[in-house]
Amino acid sequence: MLSFSRSPGATLRRVSSSPAAVAVQDRLFRALAVLRVIVLANAVALNLYRWGHYRHPVAVAACVTVMVLWTGLATWLYADPRRRTRLLLGADLAIALALLVATPLVKGSGFHATVPGFWVMAALLAWSIQYRWAGGLVAGLLLASVDLSLRPEIRQSDYGNAFLLVIGGPIVGFMCASLQEMAADREVAERAAAMAAERARLARVVHDGVLQVLALVQRRGRELGGEAGELGRLAGEQERELRTLIRAQEAVTPTPADTVDLVSELSRLERSGSVTVSTPAAPVELPAAAGRELLAAVRACLDNVRVHVGDDAPAWVLVQAFPDRIEVSVRDDGPGIPPGRLEQAAAQGRLGVIGSIRGRIADLGGSAQLVTGSGGTEWELVVPREAPGLP
């Protein structure tokens, strides 16, 4: 169903600043220029064919001359968008109406076909292209009303022609507006896609260069201590601020409601001085249910670090995305888990590690590997890209 709810003024304001919409309008006026020549040739041929039936042949010739001259002038005027003013559109429609009014004067009161004939279509379509459905409706009503008012007898064909003018103008205008709006929307979408691609490219550059250097400075500074330790602390703060900026840029492009972006969600777990999260530059998406289970497993790993190593103990979360799987590692530099500790906890009915971490990952069709020792503990969580959805 056609919808004319948007006002022509609002539509004009919306597309006036869009080069794509202006280009569409230019092409429509170029097509109209071709149509003007075709309907002019038809009108000239019909008037020549009926030449012997006119009351004032010289006056008819003058009308045809006006049509020829105006067709050439209008084609030139409409070619430049700056010349498509209200004065030009008004003159175009006024000439068409004047030729209709002149018909009974030059042909006699018993005429059947007007002098301009289908030539008036050019003015109607010009109003439809420039002023959308409202312009087409106004021009159609004026042309149809004048045409019918001049006829002593309205035949069925006369009514049909008038009806086509009234209904055709708004439909053509609506279609022209739709084409321009689609062009403007496509231009906006292409611009947004280009901006998103550029953001992703810059994020990859920052991630592969600056962030890795800052992470290295932070790690080495902590190991060296002293002034180097302070330098490492400042590097760590800058790294986190850069990561926050990159993720804020990525958040401009929303993910579907049935997916979870691990980059965005895991970034919320980052805490100054304790938890550092390293992620790819682009979003990493999983089905919503699977993503929530993986996030819960990562939180369980971090909870274990706080409980068994310390509230302020540093931990690192690394996310890597592959075509077929997603790997998340959670590492700390604590004393590690003593041998047999997990088996003892399971025997006592404390299933935190088995249920909260390994159980969740197993339900997703993945694997959870634990590497622990005196240098710290690291969990390797691997889930397939097509992780099964969970209720």
pTM confidence score = 0.50
CA 211 – CA 46 distance, rounded (Å): 78
Nearest to 326 by CA among 261, 234, 391, 268: 261
CA 370 – CA 358 distance, rounded (Å): 10
Q: What is the pLDDT of residues 333-376, one digit of tens each?
A: 888 877 766 666 555 545 555 567 888 888 888 999 888 887 78
**Letter for the amino acid at 236?**
G
Q: What are phi and psi of 285, to 5 degrees?
A: -105, 145
CA 251 – CA 263 distance, rounded (Å): 10
Report if residue 2 sits inside a domain: no
- For residues 185 and 298, membership in a common domain is answered with no
Residue with tokens 């597309």: 15
- For residues 181 and 274, membership in a common domain is answered with no
Q: Is the dihedral of CA 75, 80, 81, 87 positive or negative?
A: negative
Residue 244 corresponds to which tokens in the numbers above? 């926050």
CA 60 – CA 106 distance, rounded (Å): 6
- For residues 266 and 124, membership in a common domain is answered with no
> Residue 318 sits in a domain of what CATH number?
3.30.565.10
- For residues 296 and 153, membership in a common domain is answered with no
State the pLDDT at residue 391. 45
Report if residue 116 sits inside a domain: yes
State the pLDDT at residue 217. 76
Report if residue 246 sits inside a domain: no
- For residues 293 and 154, membership in a common domain is answered with no
- For residues 78 and 170, membership in a common domain is answered with yes
Return the bridge partners of 368, or none: 381
State the pLDDT at residue 355. 61
The radius of gyration of the chain from alpha carbons, rounded to an integer in Å, stands at 37
Q: What are phi and psi of 382, to 5 degrees?
A: -125, 125
State the pLDDT at residue 4. 40
**Letter for the amino acid at 225?**
G
Half-sphere exposure of residue 306: CA atoms within 13 angstroms, side-chain side: 12
Report if residue 48 sits inside a domain: yes
- For residues 157 and 71, membership in a common domain is answered with yes
Q: What is the pLDDT of residues 279-289, one digit of tens each?
A: 887 788 888 88
State the pLDDT at residue 213. 72
- For residues 78 and 178, membership in a common domain is answered with yes
**If you count DSSP H runs as helices and E runs as strands, how many of each does the chain have, helices first?**
12, 7
CA 173 – CA 137 distance, rounded (Å): 8
The distance from CA 69 to its chain's CA centroid, rounded to whole angstroms, is 45
- For residues 157 and 284, membership in a common domain is answered with no
Torsion of CA 316, 321, 322, 324, to 10 degrees: 110
Range of the domain at 21: 8-189
- For residues 383 and 266, membership in a common domain is answered with yes
Low pLDDT (below 50) residues in the chain: 1-8, 10-11, 252, 349, 390-391
User: Which residue, of 189, 222, 241, is where some domain finishes?
Assistant: 189
Asked if 182 contacts 18 with a C-beta cutoff of 8 angstroms, the reply is no
CB pairs under 8 A, 24+ apart, for 245-250? 246/203, 246/206, 246/207, 246/281, 247/279, 249/199, 249/203, 250/199, 250/200, 250/203, 250/281, 250/282, 250/283
State the pLDDT at residue 388. 58
- For residues 184 and 311, membership in a common domain is answered with no
Tallying the residues shown for the chain, one arrives at 391
Report if residue 196 sits inside a domain: no
User: Which residue, of 171, 189, 207, is where some domain finishes?
Assistant: 189
- For residues 265 and 135, membership in a common domain is answered with no
Report if residue 203 sits inside a domain: no
Residue 321 corresponds to which tokens in the numbers above? 């995305």
State the pLDDT at residue 203. 62
Q: How many domains does the chain have?
A: 2
User: Which residue, of 173, 189, 205, is where some domain finishes?
Assistant: 189
Report if residue 184 sits inside a domain: yes
Report if residue 341 sits inside a domain: yes
Residue with tokens 């004319």: 4
